[in-house]
Structure 1
Amino acid sequence: MNRKIFVSAKEVAHRAGVSRSAVSRTFTPGASVSEETRRRVVEAAEALGYHVNHLARGLMRNESGIVCLIVSELDTPYRASLIRALTRQLQSASKVAMLINTDRSDNSVDQALRQAISYRADASIILSGMPDKSITELCVKSGQRLVLINRDEQRDGALRINLHDREAARRAFIAFLRAGCRSFAFANSDVGTPSLMAREEGFRAAGREHGFEITIERYGPTRYQSGVVLAQRLLTREARPDAIFCANDLLACGLMDTARHQFRLTVPDDLCIIGFDDIEQSSWSSYNLTTFSQPVDRIAEEAVSWLAQPILSDENSCKLEAQLVWRGSVRGG
């Protein structure tokens, strides 16, 4: 079976009895073309199965419309929701998303990004703090525009989107304090991304401001199973905490299950827990987790709208607020 050859604009023009430029104007938003010509071109295009070659058209303007999404932990609930929001916004802006998975530690990420650059990707959006800074260097050297989400590096001509993580951590501490808690811990992973460390440092600073030392425990990836281990470490201490702020909801879910089923603690009477991200599972009745909601739709809107603007030489930054979602894992919530 022979591979079908794409129908050309020239063939559409011949069938419709119009010029090649008339076909181009018909499929160019805002271009001038008579209604009769438009009708004939559209009918011919539908009969032949013609589709506009946006890649070729874009390359003539030195644009491909391709935006790379450079992602780690893409199978986690929060990351999946952010990818969903970004791809929806990109599609609405007539852009094409190309996904690059950065979970592997070898040079596969570098190779994948170089491949994307060879397709003339216009921009890259880096969705986490995990990829090495050399990745951003490669993007910049290739002439791509760059959006950095939850990263701390300075980069001229790039947009940085971050949350007020320290302020959220302070609010978490105050919530625990008002619930009558007096022994505080922070459960973190070993990943050490800027956003996770900002939450840890903000929670520790809020504790010291009110005369309390915060117990810090870190372990493994930012996953459910790490929350299990963190619970075992924190809840076997001689001075067991009665309030734990978790770096994200997956850690909180693992920690909560272990606290209830292995240590027979009641949440929130014996132990108050706050998470971060507001993933779908946090609202399930089995968790009913008080948490901070990341504004994923707003993050996506800011990223894509900035890419549509003229290139600016200075670094641009956007700070967004995570909203506290009260549920039942904190007394009084």
Structure 2
Amino acid sequence: MNSVKQTITSKDVAKLAGVSQSTVSRVFIAGSAVSEKTKTKVYEAAKALNYRPNAFARSLTTNESKLIGLVFPDADYPIHMKTLQLISSELQQLGYSAVLIPWMVDDNDQHSIPNIFQYRVDGVIAASATLNRSLYDECEKFNIPIVQYARVVEGTKSSYVISDNYSAGQMAAQYFYQSGVNSAAYLTGNVPTFTNDEREQGFCSEFKALTGHLPIVIEANYDYCHSIKDIRQFLKQDNRPEAIFCATDNLAMAVMDVARFECNLTIPEDLQVIGFDNIPQTEWLSYQLTTFKQDFKRLAQEAVKIIVDQVQHDNNSFIKLMIPASLVERKTTKIRCV
């Protein structure tokens, strides 16, 4: 005979702990004024009865889900998984939980997500510059705060926390100049973004100011494999530059592989390379890539701080915050002649 499992409720916990049912509810709401002695009694009773508070039911009462939606382009790129972990940890410390919201590509090759309202999130942190405007429009319609992380979709009213990409571009140009470089190129991806444009402008304007020569700008696919064809065609031209600053580490590693294995070039003697992101593979012995490191921990802290403040205080302030990126010197660049 099948036995029916009894559902344990807050009423059962209250009876065992010797407190009121409302007290049990307050214990499981972060920040509620309940004494440590009472909390201990309730926790022990809950553990004895194997009780799990119903967060969804509580959200209907408090009108807060304590959930923050995270919209990321994918989890395959190494820094995205690290970022998800950092943001989730920061949210947890403030009594919130993260829920990963999937994105899709529609028939018009536009990136989108399912109806954000169905997730009952209190706020959203978005880390994709290729999402269409519908996400931001929907959040504004339902009064859901949204903060952009490490990316900026222009024309929106949402706050953002990004690295100082323009200054990073300037630093790359200065580094090449101090290494004796007279001709350079910027290798960008095939999807235009605000952050990448800032990096490109900082690099090109600074390099021209220092050398009098404007760097060549090459466009390739952001994907490693799909970028090979364009990189191969560029590196085999007669006017190949002495150094290349790449929009991502993936592109930089593709440049290195084509240069060494197909063009018989030696790095950094024949070609200097700088990447951006400092993904784990940049430290591999086969790459040892000089690259820029974004302060993802601080980016996560600041993004979470902004979204929680907007959720808790209904703060609609438009915050624009830039965090410096630092150059990590390895073996794909020459020693600077400082």
Partner of 2:34 in structure 1?
32
Measure the CA separation in 2 of the matches of 1:203 and 1:4: 65
Partner of 1:170 in structure 2?
170
Residues 208 and 226 of structure 1: CA distance in aligned 2, closer, same or farther (over 3 Å): farther
Q: Which TM-score applies when normalising by structure 1?
A: 0.90
* Percentage of matched positions with identical amino acids: 32
Q: Which TM-score applies when normalising by structure 2?
A: 0.89
- Cα displacement string for residues 150-204 of structure 1 (whole angstroms, at most 9, x for unaligned residues): 1042544x32112211111111011111111122111111011111222222222
Partner of 1:130 in structure 2?
130
Q: What one-letter code is carried by the residue in structure 2 that aligns with 1:56?
A: A
Measure the CA separation in 2 of the matches of 1:3 and 1:232: 67
Matches within 5 A, 1:150-165: 150-156=151-157, 158-165=158-165
SS class of match (2:263): coil
Deviation at 1:236? 1.4
SS class of match (1:324): strand
Measure the CA separation in 2 of the matches of 1:86 and 1:42: 27
- Listed as ranges, the gaps of 5+ residues in structure 2 are none
Partner of 1:83 in structure 2?
84
Contact 1:55–1:65, Cα closer than 8 Å, also in 2: no
Higher mean Cα deviation, 24-33 or 61-70?
A: 24-33
Contact 1:22–1:33, Cα closer than 8 Å, also in 2: no
Measure the CA separation in 2 of the matches of 1:34 and 1:81: 35
Residues 118 and 89 of structure 1: CA distance in aligned 2, closer, same or farther (over 3 Å): same
Q: What one-letter code is carried by the residue in structure 2 that aligns with 1:96?
A: S
Contact 2:104–2:113, Cα closer than 8 Å, also in 1: no
SS class of match (2:162): strand
SS class of match (1:318): strand
- Cα displacement string for residues 38-74 of structure 1 (whole angstroms, at most 9, x for unaligned residues): 5543332112111222333233222111111111133
Q: What one-letter code is carried by the residue in structure 2 that aligns with 1:314?
A: S
Partner of 1:236 in structure 2?
236
Measure the CA separation in 2 of the matches of 1:125 and 1:76: 18
Q: What one-letter code is carried by the residue in structure 1 that aligns with 2:296?
A: V
SS class of match (2:214): coil
1:324 equivalent in alignment to 2:334: no
SS class of match (1:292): strand
Residues 154 and 186 of structure 1: CA distance in aligned 2, closer, same or farther (over 3 Å): same
Measure the CA separation in 2 of the matches of 1:252 and 1:191: 17
- Listed as ranges, the gaps of 5+ residues in structure 1 are none
Contact 1:227–1:250, Cα closer than 8 Å, also in 2: no
Partner of 2:59 in structure 1?
58
SS class of match (1:275): strand
Partner of 1:291 in structure 2?
291
Q: What one-letter code is carried by the residue in structure 2 that aligns with 1:330?
A: T
Residues 41 and 315 of structure 1: CA distance in aligned 2, closer, same or farther (over 3 Å): closer
Measure the CA separation in 1 of the matches of 2:166 and 2:39: 56
Measure the CA separation in 2 of the matches of 1:257 and 1:242: 16
Residues 26 and 152 of structure 1: CA distance in aligned 2, closer, same or farther (over 3 Å): closer
Residues 2 and 324 of structure 1: CA distance in aligned 2, closer, same or farther (over 3 Å): farther
Measure the CA separation in 2 of the matches of 1:167 and 1:54: 44
Q: What one-letter code is carried by the residue in structure 2 that aligns with 1:261?
A: F
Deviation at 1:101? 3.2
SS class of match (1:41): helix
Measure the CA separation in 2 of the matches of 1:262 and 1:255: 10
CA RMSD of aligned residues (A): 2.3
- Cα displacement string for residues 245-290 of structure 1 (whole angstroms, at most 9, x for unaligned residues): 0001011011101111111111101100000001111111211111
Measure the CA separation in 1 of the matches of 2:219 and 2:174: 22
Contact 1:74–1:101, Cα closer than 8 Å, also in 2: no
SS class of match (2:101): strand
Residues 110 and 207 of structure 1: CA distance in aligned 2, closer, same or farther (over 3 Å): closer
Partner of 2:276 in structure 1?
276
Contact 1:226–1:251, Cα closer than 8 Å, also in 2: no
Matches within 5 A, 1:1-333: 6-28=7-29, 29-33=31-35, 35=37, 38-106=39-107, 110=112, 112=114, 114=115, 116-149=116-149, 150-156=151-157, 158-210=158-210, 211-220=212-221, 222-309=222-309, 310-332=313-335
Q: What one-letter code is carried by the residue in structure 1 that aligns with 2:322?
A: K
Contact 2:13–2:46, Cα closer than 8 Å, also in 1: yes
Q: What one-letter code is carried by the residue in structure 1 that aligns with 2:282?
A: S
